[in-house]
Amino acid sequence: MPRAMTAQITKLIDDDTTLARVNGVTVAAGYARGLLDYSVTRGASRDLLHVDSGIHPSALTDHFNRIPLPRYIALRRSATRQLNDPAIALHFGQSIECADLSIISLITAACETVAEAFTMLNRYGRLALDVDGIDGPDHYKTARDGSGIWMIDNRQHYGLCPEIPESSFTRMVTGIRRMYDPAMVRAVHFSHQAPPHRDTFEEVFGIPVTFGSAHTAILFDHTWFEQRIARSPRYSLGVLTAHADGLLRTLERSRSTRGRVEVALIPILHDGGASMQRVAETLAMSRPTLYRALRAEGTTFEQVLDGVRHRVALEELADGDTAVNEVALRLGFSEPAAFSRAFKRWTGHSPRQLRADTLRVVR
8-67: pLDDT as tens digits: 333 333 333 344 345 567 899 999 999 999 999 999 999 999 999 988 887 888 888 888
Q: State residue 6's pLDDT score.
A: 36
SS3 string of 172-219?
A: HHHHHHHHCCHHHEEEEECCCCCCCCHHHHHHHHCCCEECCCCCCEEE
Q: State residue 18's pLDDT score.
A: 42
Angstrom CA distances, 98 to 10, 26, 230, stand at 30, 18, 16
- Mean pLDDT by 10-residue block, N- to C-terminus, for the chain (363 residues)? 37 38 75 96 96 86 86 94 96 88 90 93 90 65 93 72 89 90 93 92 93 93 90 86 90 81 82 85 87 93 92 78 82 88 88 66 42
Cα dihedral 244, 247, 253, 259, rounded to 10, equals -160
Per residue in 128-161, pLDDT (tens digit) is 988 754 455 678 899 999 999 999 988 765 556 7
Q: State residue 327's pLDDT score.
A: 85
Q: State residue 19's pLDDT score.
A: 44
